[in-house]
Chain A
Amino acid sequence: MTDEIIVQRVLEGNTHIFSELVNRYKDRVYAMACNFIGDYSEAQDLSQEVFIKVFGSLHLFKGGSSFSTWLYRICYNMCIDWIRKNKKKWIRACENYEDNDRPDASADVENNYIAACKRNSVITGVNSLKDKYRAVIVLFHFNNLSYEDIAHILKIPVKTVETRLYRGRNQLKKLLAAELSGGGKYEMQAGS
């Protein structure tokens, strides 16, 4: 059964069938919330609020885009609202990511450890990007959405999505280059 048919059935009064849509998209919505707000527990609650809002707004779904794009747009807007209202929590979540997710320094393979540190640096860099670059980076790389879907969600042209992706990645390259040129940090941690 397609998403649009399920929406139609829900609007006709079969409320219980909405759980099918929830089960289809709960992990992706949760992933998007995690990737934006960084706090796993808050992301769970926010994800539930997304679906409750979606249910209350189903009558507004006109079918101009796919249901998934419409859902992601609502999720994205709610994530941005959450960050605006909870700036301090969001900053703390970004800082905690850097501290808690750094791999164990006693890893057997030094190269794997350094590679993992580089990955952590990339993610820390993502959190420091401007909102417009972070949004496209998160939606493309973390949520595996297409240029067209991202354009629909953010209400920008496809070409703008492409431009922002390239600029966002360039900024990450520069951040990474600056961190790696400080160099010794990884070697010291690997050796400890």
Chain B
Amino acid sequence: MKCRQAAELFNIYFEGGLDRSRTRELMEHAAACQDCRREMDMLGVVFDGLGSQTASRKVRESFTKDIMSVIEKGSKRPVNLQNGAQNDYRPVYRRLGFSLIITAAVMLISVSIPQTAKISDAYASVNSRVQNILNDVSNQIGFQKEE
């Protein structure tokens, strides 16, 4: 067995996934190779340290009760498969999604077109009044000259 292979097998060995014959072969190699023995020992310490860390603390007594009280207040409810969207409590923008964006865009355009037309009409009206004033002024000047 080569050292590189042994290094991979040490992981499986400590995970408990190595069969007896392979384990024997691995231990024989570790006995004969000092470097691999050291690697195995260090990996053993790592596994030992990692294996001792399952949390021994428990959740508080009111843990489940607190959760159920939030749920029963109705702040979050799942979708009822039988009633479909009827009980959908997702926010409006999530439910309507893309269709809302399209609707908003259409409304914006439809409102802006009449407004644009109104502005054009107002401009034309002001323009014609200005023209009339200018015509009046130029006529008066022309009348004075003739005199």
Q: Give chain A's interface residues, CB within 8 Å of chain B.
A: 10-13, 15-16, 18-19, 22-23, 26-27, 30-31, 34-35, 40, 44, 47-48, 51-52, 55-59, 115, 118-123, 126, 137, 141-142, 144, 165-166, 169, 172-173, 176-177
Contacts and interface: CB of A to CB of B under 8 A. Distances in A.
Given A11-B80, A56-B76, A119 B68 contact: no
B81 to A, nearest CB: 5
A51 B54 contact: no
18 contacts: A12-B80, A12-B82, A15-B71, A18-B68, A19-B68, A27-B58, A30-B59, A48-B63, A118-B48, A119-B48, A119-B49, A119-B52, A122-B48, A123-B49, A141-B53, A165-B11, A173-B46, A176-B49
Report whether over half of chain B's contact residues are helix, strand or loop; otherwise say mixed. helix
A122 B45 contact: yes
A85 to B, nearest CB: 21
Interface string B68-87: 10111000111111100000
A142 B67 contact: no
A120 B43 CA distance: 15
A88 to B, nearest CB: 23
Given A142-B53, A144-B54, A177-B42, A11 B59 contact: no
Interface string B27-67: 00000000000010011011111111111011110011011
Nearest to B81: A11
A15 B68 CA distance: 9
Contact of B46 (A18, A19, A31, A122): A122
Contacts of B60: 44
Contacts of A22: 63-64, 67-68
